[in-house]
């Protein structure tokens, strides 16, 4: 199993003993193929890789969502172990809440512009919690590069903005969204869909990829499909959407216009 540390101090002392570049992959665990892509890429591009597993309470809007978040630490470590090479270059940082929030969340990172729209509008406080934990994790990891998926596009944008604004000495590396065969973006939350919902869920990507329809028309189509869409909006040269299917909130985004048509070709099933 990968060497695991649980306190910032123990990671720091281990970090001092290894040399070369470090890639960092922050996660909340319940790892799927999308996370493993990030870890593989980090291993390819760095001498060592640190994966953090921490279900961050401050970025959840509802206690029930936090409680329902699957904790699968043993399975996660086994998946990471399978990527481990002979040199054992992969480490896990799995802190507890008290290690990350010794201040009880008194100090926070606030971005007051791009965090107010889309996800920020529907999930108040989410990005403050996310940016705060990411800043702490980046400071603890002290990595050369940190890897974030494009699936959470607004998160990636805000993390990049924070890194630039606060002069963080780390390169933020964006990684493409990993999709299921039918186009559904991989997410830890997909496991909570019923079989019927899972089948329908692929329509989110298909509808998003239909550039013959406006954002407003896609919203309406998703409603007819049985989703409860929160937004479909084109911004930052992406088309982004969030929609509920039963009790599961799905998000996705694709490049706007021509890029999307190219990306969409492989999966889009638009009727």
The answer to the question of residue 92 lying near ligand PAF (CB under 6 A) is no
Tokens of 72: 């699968």
* Contact call for residues 127 and 111 (beta carbons, < 8 A): yes
Cα–Cα distance measured from residue 243 to residue 235, given in angstroms and rounded to the nearest whole number: 17
Q: Which residues of 81-104 are buried (b: 16+ CB within 10 A; e: fewer)?
A: eebbeeeebbbbbbbeeebbbeee
Tokens of 95: 């802190």
User: Which one of the spans 26-34, 109-117, 204-212, 245-253 is the region binding ligand PAF (CB under 6 A)?
Assistant: 26-34
Choose the catalytic residue: 35, 48, 99, 126. Answer: 35
List 2, 11, 24, 28, residue binding ligand PAF (CB under 6 A): 28
Tokens of 65: 């969502």
Host H or E run for residue 31: none
List 5, 22, 27, 253, residue binding ligand PAF (CB under 6 A): 27
Pairing of strands 228-235, 238-245: antiparallel
User: Which one of the spans 113-121, 126-134, 191-199, 253-261 is the region binding ligand PAF (CB under 6 A)?
Assistant: 126-134
User: Which one of the spans 21-29, 36-44, 66-74, 207-215 is the region binding ligand PAF (CB under 6 A)?
Assistant: 21-29
Q: How far is the CB of 147 from ligand PAF (least distance, A)?
A: 10
Q: How far is the CB of 261 from ligand PAF (least distance, A)?
A: 27
Query: What are the residues binding ligand PAF (CB under 6 A)?
Result: 26-28, 56, 59, 130, 133-134, 152, 155
């Amino acid at each position: 199993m990968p060497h695991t540390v649980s306190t910032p101090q123990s990671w720091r002392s281990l970090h001092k003993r290894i040399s070369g570049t470090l890639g960092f992959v922050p996660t909340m665990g319940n790892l799927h193929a999308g996370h493993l892509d990030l870890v593989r890429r980090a291993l390819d591009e760095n001498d060592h890789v640190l994966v953090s597993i921490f279900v961050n309470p401050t970025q959840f809007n509802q206690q029930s969502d936090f409680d329902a978040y699957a904790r699968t630490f043993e399975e996660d470590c086994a998946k990471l172990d399978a990527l481990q090479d002979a040199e054992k270059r992969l480490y896990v940082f799995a802190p507890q809440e008290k290690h990350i929030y010794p201040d009880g969340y008194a100090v926070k990172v606030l971005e007051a512009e791009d965090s107010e729209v889309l996800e920020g509008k529907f999930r108040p406080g989410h990005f403050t919690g996310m940016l705060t934990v990411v800043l702490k994790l980046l400071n603890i990891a002290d990595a050369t590069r940190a890897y974030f998926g494009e699936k959470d596009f607004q998160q990636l944008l805000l993390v990049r903005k924070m890194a630039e604004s606060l002069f963080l000495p780390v390169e933020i590396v964006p990684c493409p969204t990993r999709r299921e065969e039918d186009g559904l973006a991989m997410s830890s939350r997909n496991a909570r869909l019923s079989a019927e919902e899972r089948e329908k869920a692929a329509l989110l990507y298909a509808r998003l990829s239909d550039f013959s329809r406006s954002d407003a028309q896609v919203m309406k189509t998703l409603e007819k499909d049985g989703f409860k869409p929160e937004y479909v909006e084109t911004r930052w040269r992406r088309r982004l959407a969030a929609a509920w299917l039963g009790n599961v909130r799905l998000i996705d985004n694709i490049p706007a216009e021509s890029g999307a048509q190219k990306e969409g070709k492989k999966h889009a099933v638009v009727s």
